[in-house]
Chain A
Amino acid sequence: MLTRLLGPQRRYLWFWIFTGPFVIGLVVFSYVPLLWSITLSFFDARNTVTPTHFLGFANYARVLTDADFIQSLGTFALFAVVVVPATYALSLSLALLVSQLGWGRAFFRSVFFLPTACSYVVAALIWKMSIFNGVRFGLANTVLHWFGAGPVAWLSTTQPPWYWLVIITVRLWLQAGFYLVLFLAGLQRIPATLYEAAAVDGAQPGWQTFRYITFPQLRTTSVAVVLLLVINAFQAFDEFYNLLSSSRGYPPYARPPLVYLYYVALGQGQDLGVGSAGAVVLALIIAAATVMQTRWFGLGRKEP
């Protein structure tokens, strides 16, 4: 009996010894909190993780009718609509440029990749305090001064919403290099024979080759990059929080969902019920978006 349980050559035993710790970790640190959070979302859970007062769907109703939550989804949508295509275009163009370099390719690859190693918090603070601070000696305002324009309070001005410029540029700087490396790897996988055949058939180097050879061949890389970009945009928190929060909280604009939930559930509010309901709604939206994207791109479908 025991030998049957242990399997041939004790394979089952070894299977559990090797995977067990990770399964336990996954269950304890992912599944239990997940289920707990779903449970909390149905209770009045203020300042407690073991609530007793059952509310049904009241927390969901509260979150879905909260103008601030809806607005935070709008903020995310706007952010994603700008930052996903911008990062895609920037990192692809940089990858094309770097891959055509005759010399110093490794150098430029490293230079563009370096910001990826920088922490979002540090980058956000540099953007906030040195480049885009509102006083006359900030970098951006110094440049404006050369052209005779007065200083702009980048992060405090809501009309026009200059803060978006700061938020988008810091993320572009931080993440473009990472996707550049993905695209470079994709470019290297395109067989040289395709380009040779195209040249023989009379394709012009440049746009024509890019449009009909390079871009279609990069399809799998593009799909992966877009998926990663969208999920990363959903998880936006660090740069928003560090750029815009103050000791007294967060302004009522540029508030993405995670920042909203942070202040509801984890700030002084500690309203874990409403926070959990918001988190569940958000998780459902991310799941739906991902499923739609994979359908759209045909991810996982067998190549014809």
Chain B
Amino acid sequence: MSVPRSGLSRRRLLAAGGGLAVGAVLAACGSNTGRGGGDASPGGMALSQWYHQYGEPGVEQAVRRYAGAYGKTRVDVQWRPGDYDQQTAAALLTDSGPDVFESPGPTLDQIQGGQVVDLTDVISGAQPDFNPTVLGPKTYQGKVYGIPQTIDMQMLYYRKSLLAKAGVQPPSTLDELVAAARALTTDETKGLFLGNDGGAGVLGGVPLWAAGLELVTADGAVGFDDPAAATALGKLHTVYAEKSLLLGAPSDWSDPAAFIQGLTAMQWTGLWALPQITTALGDDFGVLPFPPDGPRGRPSVPVGAYASSVSARSKRIAEAKDYVKWLWVERADFQEDFALSYGFHIPARTSLAQRAAGLRSGPAADAVRFTTENGHADPLLWTPRSRTALQDTFSRIIKDGADPSAQLASLVSTVSAELARVRK
């Protein structure tokens, strides 16, 4: 068999093709830096700013609009779906990460590791106007590392008509909550929904705060080494054991679907669910903080805020800080729009929260009041290790019926060790 010889032999062709492919692969690796095109606009390269994917329609367009309105330098907004915390944590280790990013933190490890920049001078004049509960966990040794954007909080929603039918008053103590959940449970409807894991995940420090305790004391020690903690958690096990809890719902606590569909008479979920619940149920619902337990008890709601931070690996830290100051400290109009025009959040600035018309009446006004009067945030020293240990402990107490005192004693020792590590 003879093949007519052309100018290019088969081997040469393969070699050339292989070379091209390798070159293309290398080029593809090199260009994927996560930044924009990097064209030489007057201000040099664009600042890159990361947001996690907000569920509400319009937020992405809004943040791009804010960035576009910034005159000093071009800002390249990246909208990142998926596990955002993990993406930022990984990206902060590299040079191709964001210049400006939002996060529920920054975390203590990020601050201690020098991964985020001190923003105290950015917030300075406006500091008293920010909600102190959410600003606290962004502050380490007197320096601020994140500018709170909006406040999120969670509370207990209850269905007025179902409570009336069962002859139950809205619960004002933990014992009444247990009793109400029992009375409201029928063949069709469960009394209370605290998430598919029985509350261990979503509640976090809430039962401890409601028992008058703290996660971490002001001087950095364990704040719940007290019999009141075991008492409160024992009551949560009672609700579980009496089968008053909704478990295994198709959508978890963060979605009001179970409450709207009538699978449960009371549900613990976020402020973000308020518009959806209002649309579906009209005024057939009310909201409550987590009820207090014991003589030192106080009603409690968890609050937290996404905050804007500047990466220490940014090549243009000064410009990034200027931009953060402009957007999250100076442009109150944008902050108000961001908090209230799309989803339903409370502005992080007290002056804006008081001004907002949508927050002055009904359950929304209750939510603002709970946030101010009963709000607690996870302290900065409350690291992921402590959080996981608490969650595991709560799960064992609530679902397995493990002895609360023994479980809490072991939790106290884990958390003490972790606090000793981070305070070194």
In the complex, the answer to whether B86 meets A267 with C-beta atoms within 8 Å is yes
In the complex, the answer to whether A252 meets B247 with C-beta atoms within 8 Å is no
In the complex, the answer to whether A247 meets B252 with C-beta atoms within 8 Å is yes
Q: Which residues of B contact A46 (CB under 8 A)?
A: 109, 113
Bound CA–CA A154/B263 (angstroms)? 17
Q: Which residues of B contact A263 (CB under 8 A)?
A: 388
Shortest C-beta distance, B343 to chain A (Å), equals 16
Bound CA–CA A90/B385 (angstroms)? 41
Q: In the complex where A47-B89, A135-B249 touch, is A17 in contact with B18 (Cβ < 8 A)?
A: yes
What 1/0 mask marks residues of chain B from 236 to 259 whose CB sits below 8 Å from any chain A CB?
A: 000000000011111010100000
- Which of A135, A155, A267 counts the most chain B CB atoms within 10 A? A135
In the complex, the answer to whether B93 meets A156 with C-beta atoms within 8 Å is no
Q: Which residues of B contact A156 (CB under 8 A)?
A: 196-198, 247-248, 399
In the complex, the answer to whether A155 meets B89 with C-beta atoms within 8 Å is no
Bound CA–CA A156/B197 (angstroms)? 6
What 1/0 mask marks residues of chain A from 230 to 271 whose CB sits below 8 Å from any chain B CB?
A: 000000000000000011110111000000000100111111
Chain B residues touching A, range: 35 or more
Q: Which residues of A contact B202 (CB under 8 A)?
A: 248
In the complex, the answer to whether B18 meets A21 with C-beta atoms within 8 Å is yes
Q: Is A93 an interface residue (CB 8 A)?
A: no
Which residues of B from 101 to 117 have beta carbons under 8 Å from A?
107, 109-110, 113, 115
Bound CA–CA A288/B401 (angstroms)? 38
Q: Is B85 an interface residue (CB 8 A)?
A: yes
In the complex, the answer to whether A155 meets B196 with C-beta atoms within 8 Å is yes
Which residues of A from 1 to 60 have beta carbons under 8 Å from B?
17-18, 21, 46-49
In the complex, the answer to whether A266 meets B86 with C-beta atoms within 8 Å is yes
Q: In the complex where A48-B113, A153-B247 touch, is A246 in contact with B196 (Cβ < 8 A)?
A: yes
Bound CA–CA A138/B263 (angstroms)? 13
Among A17, A135, A158, A247, contact of B250 (Cβ-Cβ < 8 Å):
A135
Bound CA–CA A48/B201 (angstroms)? 28
Which residues of B from 354 to 412 have beta carbons under 8 Å from A?
383-385, 387-388, 391-392, 395-396, 399-401
Shortest C-beta distance, A71 to chain B (Å), equals 10
In the complex, the answer to whether A251 meets B113 with C-beta atoms within 8 Å is no
Q: Is B205 an interface residue (CB 8 A)?
A: no
In the complex, the answer to whether A133 meets B248 with C-beta atoms within 8 Å is yes
Q: Which residues of A contact B188 (CB under 8 A)?
A: 136
Q: Which residues of A contact B384 (CB under 8 A)?
A: 267-269
In the complex, the answer to whether A47 meets B200 with C-beta atoms within 8 Å is no
Bound CA–CA A251/B393 (angstroms)? 10
Q: Is B92 an interface residue (CB 8 A)?
A: yes
In the complex, the answer to whether A134 meets B115 with C-beta atoms within 8 Å is no
In the complex, the answer to whether A247 meets B254 with C-beta atoms within 8 Å is yes
Bound CA–CA A158/B392 (angstroms)? 13
Q: Which residues of B contact A153 (CB under 8 A)?
A: 196, 247-248
Bound CA–CA A271/B109 (angstroms)? 10
Chain B residue nearest in CB terms to A21 = B22
In the complex, the answer to whether B263 meets A249 with C-beta atoms within 8 Å is no
Q: Is B15 an interface residue (CB 8 A)?
A: yes
In the complex, the answer to whether B250 meets A129 with C-beta atoms within 8 Å is yes
Bound CA–CA A17/B249 (angstroms)? 56
Q: Is B191 an interface residue (CB 8 A)?
A: no
Q: Which residues of A contact B254 (CB under 8 A)?
A: 247
Which residues of B from 294 to 322 have beta carbons under 8 Å from A?
none
Shortest C-beta distance, B61 to chain A (Å), equals 25
In the complex, the answer to whether B113 meets A47 with C-beta atoms within 8 Å is yes
Q: Which residues of B contact A247 (CB under 8 A)?
A: 201, 252, 254
- Which of B201, B248, B249 counts the most chain A CB atoms within 10 A? B248
Q: Is A159 an interface residue (CB 8 A)?
A: yes
Q: Is A119 an interface residue (CB 8 A)?
A: no
Q: In the complex where A48-B93, A133-B249 touch, is A270 in contact with B109 (Cβ < 8 A)?
A: yes
Q: Which residues of A contact B387 (CB under 8 A)?
A: 249
In the complex, the answer to whether A252 meets B201 with C-beta atoms within 8 Å is no
Q: Is A110 an interface residue (CB 8 A)?
A: no
Q: Is A290 an interface residue (CB 8 A)?
A: no
In the complex, the answer to whether A251 meets B200 with C-beta atoms within 8 Å is yes
Bound CA–CA A132/B250 (angstroms)? 10
In the complex, the answer to whether B115 meets A47 with C-beta atoms within 8 Å is yes
Q: Is B195 an interface residue (CB 8 A)?
A: yes
Q: Which residues of A contact B86 (CB under 8 A)?
A: 266-268
Q: Which residues of A contact B383 (CB under 8 A)?
A: 269
Bound CA–CA A89/B362 (angstroms)? 61
Shortest C-beta distance, B319 to chain A (Å), equals 24
Bound CA–CA A159/B400 (angstroms)? 7
Chain A residue nearest in CB terms to B254 = A247
Q: Which residues of B contact A248 (CB under 8 A)?
A: 195, 197, 201-202, 204, 391
In the complex, the answer to whether B395 meets A134 with C-beta atoms within 8 Å is no
Q: Which residues of B contact A48 (CB under 8 A)?
A: 93, 113
Q: Which residues of B contact A17 (CB under 8 A)?
A: 15, 18
Chain A residue nearest in CB terms to B410 = A67
What 1/0 mask marks residues of chain A from 151 to 179 whose CB sits below 8 Å from any chain B CB?
A: 00111111100000000000000000000
In the complex, the answer to whether A134 meets B85 with C-beta atoms within 8 Å is no
Chain B residue nearest in CB terms to A141 = B248
Chain B residue nearest in CB terms to A252 = B392
Which residues of B from 251 to 281 have beta carbons under 8 Å from A?
252, 254, 263
Shortest C-beta distance, B309 to chain A (Å), equals 14
Q: In the complex where A46-B113, A156-B197, A263-B388 touch, is A134 in contact with B247 (Cβ < 8 A)?
A: yes
Bound CA–CA A247/B387 (angstroms)? 13
Bound CA–CA A9/B246 (angstroms)? 75
What 1/0 mask marks residues of chain A from 135 to 150 whose CB sits below 8 Å from any chain B CB?
A: 1101000000000000
17 pairs of residues in contact across A and B, judged by CB atoms under 8 Å: A46-B109, A48-B113, A49-B93, A134-B247, A135-B250, A136-B188, A159-B399, A246-B195, A247-B254, A248-B195, A248-B197, A249-B201, A249-B388, A251-B200, A251-B395, A268-B86, A268-B384
Closest 6 CB pairs of A and B: A134-B248, A248-B201, A153-B247, A252-B392, A153-B248, A156-B247
Chain B residues proximal to chain A, CB less than 8 Å: 15, 18, 21-22, 85-86, 89, 92-93, 107, 109-110, 113, 115, 188, 195-198, 200-202, 204, 246-250, 252, 254, 263, 383-385, 387-388, 391-392, 395-396, 399-401
Chain A residues proximal to chain B, CB less than 8 Å: 17-18, 21, 46-49, 68, 129, 132-136, 138, 153-159, 246-249, 251-253, 263, 266-271
Task: For the A-B complex with A159-B399, A267-B85 known, give 4 more contacts whose Cβ atoms are closer than 8 Å.
Answer: A46-B113, A47-B110, A129-B250, A269-B384
